[in-house]
Copies of this chain bind each other. A is one copy, B any other.
Amino acid sequence: MKVGIIGATGYGGLELIRLLHRHSGISSIDLFTSSDEGELFSHKYSYLMNIYDTPLHKIRIEHLAKLDVIFTSTPSGVTSRLLPPLIGKGPRIIDLSGDYRLSAQDYSEWYGKEPAPETSLRKSVYGLTEWNREAVKDAVMVANPGCYPTAVLLSLLPAVKNGLIDTDSLIIDAKSGVSGAGNKPNQMTHFSETNESLSIYKVNKHQHIPEIETGLAQFAEKTRPITFSTHLVPMTRGILAAAYAPLADGVSKKQLQECYQDTYSDETFVRVMPDGPKFSTNQVYGSNYCDLQLHVDPRTNRATIVSVIDNLVKGAAGQAIQNMNVQFGFKETEGLDLVPSYI
Contact = CB atoms under 8 A, between A and B. Distances in A.
- Tell me which of A195, A274, A285 has the highest count of chain B C-beta atoms within 10 A of its own C-beta: A195
A21 to B, nearest CB: 5
Nearest to A244: B171
A255 interface: no
A279 interface: yes
Nearest to A275: B203
Interface string A203-246: 11000000000000000000001110101111111101010101
Which of A179, A196, A231, A306: most chain B Cβ within 10 A? A196
For this chain, the copies found in one complex come to: 4
A195 B197 contact: no
A263 interface: no
A98 to B, nearest CB: 19
Nearest to A269: B50
Contacts of A342: 14, 45, 47, 193
A236 B175 contact: no
A132 interface: no
Interface in A40-68: 45-51
A47 B283 contact: yes
Given A46-B276, A188-B278, A342-B47, A195 B225 contact: no
A222 to B, nearest CB: 14
Given A46-B283, A341-B286, A178 B192 contact: yes
Given A191-B194, A244-B227, A22 B337 contact: yes
A343 B234 contact: no
A198 B175 contact: yes
